[in-house]
Amino acid sequence: MTTGLVLSLDAMGGDHAPQSVVDGAAQFLKGRRRSVRLLFHGDESELAPLIARHAGLGDVSEIRHTDSQVDMSAKPSDAVRRSRGSSMWNAVHAIKDGEAQVAVSAGNTGALMAISKVILRMKPGVHRPAIAASWPAPKGFSTVLDVGANVDCTPAQLVEFAVLGEAFHRAVQGVARPTVGLLNVGQEELKGSQVIRDADALVRAAGLDMDYRGFIEGDDISAGTTNVVVTDGFTGNVALKTAEGTARLVGGWMKEAMTSNLLAKAGAILLSLGALNNLRARMDPRNVNGGVFLGLNGVVVKSHGGTDAQGFATSLRIALEMADSAFLSEIETNLSRLAAIQEPPAEDAGEPQRETV
């Protein structure tokens, strides 16, 4: 399978794999005119009957058997040493081998980051990958990074994230000149940690061709104050999961209110024909599931580990958008600007950065 667009799937990664992966792939392909082929990496004895349940899925799929998979609790360093030949390793390696354009996994985040870094390597000028997530905003989506790959960041790494995030947003969302903000606890220049203040000073001194708006606060993320929001992986992941939990809570309240009595149920039936369904869709975290590792020599998409078929289908849609975009060339252009102002930090000698997703 070497012709056309190919997505490489870690079929055994995630809390509900392989069923959520196969069912998600089937949902993704429904009604899609774009020609796409799928590589499923995993246990053939489990995958074959699941794929056979979906008419036509087997015609555009190929199973690459392996009985090895990366445990969700594995440390990144252990995963790199022991995961060769696993479903996650093979899914990413298909990009290096030229068999696929994008790899998708719902498996262990730290392991996926470490494996991707070893196999695909980083682009010159980038120290660590960052996970970028699309965040619903009043008008379209914002890009937030990092949302889980790097717990602790230096000022220089935050500036790298700004460069990566701007290029990602331009390529995927089609915004010619995205605005960029640095997440902080206030907008005043003396607010926040020393790392945040130093990153702000560095990006201003760099003279990058970027529409940088300075500090923004937590409520600016959903308000869409800037197109790109830059933060460390700890803060970004907490913000992401808090937002997802809040969306589920409000959705539950809505359902409870709409079924509380006969009159409410009658109103819900009328609303469900239009506005209510649209609102539910916009609030459903599964419809924005899928973060992209930025800074690699290739495209890797991370789906939430606990997602269901609908959420995994969304991550495949994001993978398709990435494959069709000019993202990698955009990244290279912006990184050349960053390299001109500062040498990249020395490579860490120890264990890969702990993950939070």
* Domain membership flag for residue 317: yes
Position 112 scores a pLDDT of 93
Alpha carbon of 22 to those of 38, 189, 218, 308: distances in Å?
Answer: 10, 49, 36, 10
Position 50 scores a pLDDT of 97
Position 350 scores a pLDDT of 44
* Domain membership flag for residue 271: no
Ranges under pLDDT 50 in the chain:
1-2, 279, 283, 344-346, 348-357
Report the alpha-carbon distance of residue 58 to residue 84 in Å, rounded: 26
* Domain membership flag for residue 16: yes
CA dihedral 253→257→259→263, nearest 10 degrees, is: -170
- Look up residue 78 and give its amino acid: D
Position 61 scores a pLDDT of 96
Position 333 scores a pLDDT of 67
How many distinct structural domains can be found in the chain? 1
* Domain membership flag for residue 62: yes
* Domain membership flag for residue 282: no
Range of the domain at 124: 1-129+295-325
Who's near 338: CB < 8 A, 6+ residues apart?
125, 159, 160, 163, 206, 208
> What pLDDT, in 10s, does the model give residues 189-235?
888 899 999 999 988 888 788 899 999 999 999 899 999 999 998 99
> Which residue in 40, 81, 37, 88 sits closest to 59, CA to CA?
37
* Domain membership flag for residue 286: no
Packing angle of the helix pair 327-339, 155-173 (nearest 10 deg):
150
Position 150 scores a pLDDT of 83
* Domain membership flag for residue 87: yes
Segments of 33-84 assigned E as strands: 36-42, 61-65
Report the alpha-carbon distance of residue 155 to residue 158 in Å, rounded: 5
> What pLDDT, in 10s, does the model give residues 105-144?
999 988 998 999 999 998 887 878 898 888 888 888 899 9
* Domain membership flag for residue 116: yes
Packing angle of the helix pair 275-283, 262-271 (nearest 10 deg):
80
The arrangement of strands across the sheet holding 61-65 comes to 61-65, 36-42, 5-10, 102-105, 299-302, 291-294, 130-136, 141-145, 228-230, 179-183, 211-216
CATH of the domain at 89: 3.40.718.10
Segments of 198-346 assigned E as strands: 211-216, 228-230, 291-294, 299-302
